[in-house]
Chain A
């Protein structure tokens, strides 16, 4: 048998400190307490991280406000050069950041190395180039920054979400206070070091760590002019309520329950890859994951057989092993949520996972598929945010569209068919911000991303992504 021997990426490239402070006004400072971040693959503590309370957030916002005066006046060309510099350092230190991301988040190194980090650097590179061209972006000849942006990001793509938030904000002349998720603060704090390394003026980027209360203090701070949030629809709703009646500009990138539609004339082998990538990429911790497979009845059996055969080759385990396809679930809390929903699914539909040995320690969930699911089932409605796929069938294009749109979410969708005119028609009909046709889970800094309906509002990426950070 051709067994792959362990091929671990060396963790020695990254130096994790025993403790980290808050990054305020260009300095690491103490917080008002501390919390631990752990490696979800081993449950070992990685570091102590400062906890920011309302007072700390206030200091960070004040630092950002002070820095805004100069930063917003700096010629775009000069702002851009800072961002180019950051992009270059990110490229240079990308392996270190990838390893740290995998350790703190649990995602496989091949993804942090080949997807997250290249996109992070590309995002800074892209928006760096906009900094001195804002007058040509279609928002008037001289668009202005908004002010201080309060940004709250999730744990699924910690550094990538940071890039999506910070790069356009800075390019447009805003300053930021960013709160990473409490389970994945480390790459953001390493990014803070990179800001120092790039001689970014103090206060332009501030990083405050903590959980929901810290985020709430940031979002509700009167000195924040712009709120950007990526995370759950539930928290997004709270934020939308909390900014009501203020002048704060808001963009929200929230949950999803994407349909991935497979027509009978699809390129089946690539569609199966698209299904796998759609739901098992990043352990399914993806807001735009293709978590609802809609497959045409005439090919359902064939597609499911292929899918199961393919799932049996997925390698679950050590995130730092270069051959790992599915890493660790990010936290005990998320694992228990996935388990709870999977148990509900089991009472509703047929559950299947390939034989797969999960490590004894850490948070793990085998790739799972539910067949015989209907739209009435909870696993077809609720975002599971884990490696769990619900399979539904349809008979006609109209039925596929109707089922695909039958959700309060509208972030993304997939459609697979070799028939070009059908793709265009279905793409028109799908109420989702991103439609992947004959592909899935592709991202690019030039490509706007964001949802319809309860998946939030505003777009990140591309020319469109500037709008959220300009006073237009």
Chain B
């Protein structure tokens, strides 16, 4: 045993590529740690950061997004021990890394799979392609703190959306540690923003925020809260992914990407 006193980590929020404390100054005790307890104003700041990041991330080449997601996988692989220490099983970490690799490969393929040329009955070039919807607020699942979290974030950002993630209230440390992975992976600040604290307190602010384009309710366990959030989301016609308890080890399919994609169709005459 060494006499050296360990340096403890302060678990903070991840907003705009930085690690601020909650503006409210609040923390809560969970997983034997003090964790920042985000307020509605932190959510508001996260929306501003996400909006600022959206144009650049959506406008980045799909190739670059794939490179960065792959880099996230690399960084995660290198931090296996940290996630193991937080209770993630080796299989969970494996699956989380593999999931990132899977979505890294999707970035430059989803447009081809979901878009296409439309043979309209007239002298027009007509093409449809998916585009990101914008800011997606995610209520992270409580099951599989790391794998579940990666499985909801990766599809959102792979397609060029930006995310505000409300970490699971009871197991937020995986989320904050993932933020450290993201922060060291060339992911532009603001593309993923992670808030810890009470989803029931913060989610309504994101659900009703008019500059948020979509909401993923996967982690909302209370049906009444889920319905309330969906009602709030209707104010600006947010795209809503309703609560579910997926088997995170199964093939995720395309649904988590396509729910947050718009289809843009462009027409142009063909003439000389």
Cross-interface CB contact of B231 among A244, A433, A438, cutoff 8 Å: A244
Residue pair B267, A442 in contact (C-beta under 8 Å):
yes
Question: Is A134 an interface position by the 8 A CB rule?
Answer: no
Residue in contact with B265 in the complex, picked from A240, A241, A245, A447, CB distance below 8 Å: A447
Alpha-carbon gap, A447 to B226, bound state (A) = 34
Shortest CB–CB separation between residue B243 and chain A, in angstroms? 10
A237-B235, A252-B237, A439-B267 known; A446 vs B213 contact (CB < 8 Å): no
Complex Cα distance A44/B86, Å?
76
A residues sitting closer than 8 Å to B (CB atoms) are 122, 138, 233, 236-238, 240-241, 244-245, 247, 252, 254, 408, 423, 427-428, 432-439, 442, 444, 446-450, 452-457, 459, 462-464, 467, 472
Q: A241-B231, A252-B237, A448-B118 are in contact. Are A435 and B266 (CB under 8 A)?
A: yes
Are B133 and A446 in contact (CB-based, < 8 A)? Answer: no
Asked if B234 lies at the interface with its beta carbon under 8 angstroms from chain A, I say yes
Partner of B226, one of A233, A245, A462: A245
10 nearest A-B pairs in the assembled complex, by CB-CB distance: A245-B227, A240-B234, A244-B230, A444-B120, A446-B118, A241-B234, A437-B268, A244-B231, A435-B266, A447-B118
Decide if B121 is an interface residue (CB 8 Å cutoff). Answer: yes
Distance, CA A19 to CA B234, complexed state (A): 38
Q: Report the separation of the CA atoms of residues A453 and B265 in the bound assembly, to the nearest whole angstrom.
A: 15
- The stretch of B72-80, B87-95, B122-130 in contact with A is B122-130
CA separation between A416 and B210, bound complex, in Å?
31
A240–B231 Cα gap in the complex (Å)? 7
Size bin of chain B's contact surface: 35 or more
B151 to chain A, nearest CB (A): 19
Interface mask (B111-123 → A, CB under 8 Å = 1, otherwise 0): 0011010111110
CA of A427 to CA of B59, assembled, Å: 13
| Smallest CB gap from A139: residue in B | B254
CA distance A447 to B227 in the complex (A): 33
CA distance A464 to B115 in the complex (A): 9
Nearest B-chain residue to A434, judged by Cβ: B265
Contact status B234-A447, CB under 8 Å: no
- Residues of chain A lying within 8 A (CB to CB) of residue B113: 138
Q: Which of these, A237, A435, A457, A467, contacts B267 with CB under 8 Å? A: A435
Known: A233-B237, A448-B118, A448-B128. A437 touches B263 (CB 8 A): no
In whole angstroms, how far apart are the Cα atoms of A433 and B265 in the complex? 6
Q: Give A314 to B263 CA distance when docked, in angstroms.
A: 35
Q: B268 to A433, Cβ gap below 8 A?
A: no
